[in-house]
Amino acid sequence: MNVNKNISLTSPSFDDAWHVIDMDPVRRARARLSQYPTWIAECSAEATIYAKCVINVMGGVKKDQCAEEFRQFKHCFRRAAGKR
C-alpha cells in the first residue's frame, strides 16, 4: 500500500478560513444603512406630513388611511437613495 505522507489532514486555522469568507455584502449593507439618516433628512417635509397623519388617527388607524402620505414619503426616500 502506497501512502502519501505529504498530505495534511488538519483543517485550516480560523484565521486562514476568515479570508475565504466574502464580507463584501455586509460592508455594502452597513454603508447603505449609514446613509438612511441623510436620506430621511432630505425628505423631512414628506416625513413630517406622514407623521402628522399617523398621529391624527392614533388609536383608530385603519389600513390605507395615510397611504397617500406614505407613498409620497416613500417616493422621496427612494429618490434620495437613488442619488448616491
pLDDT band at 84 (very low <50, low <70, confident <90, very high): low
Average pLDDT (55-59) is 83
pLDDT band at 2 (very low <50, low <70, confident <90, very high): low
Say what the pTM is.
Answer: 0.61
Report if residue 48 sits inside a domain.
yes
Identify the pLDDT of residue 66. 92
Report if residue 33 sits inside a domain.
no
Total domains in the chain come to 1
Other Cβ atoms less than 10 A from the Cβ of 72: the count is 16
Report if residue 54 sits inside a domain.
yes
Other Cβ atoms less than 10 A from the Cβ of 68: the count is 12
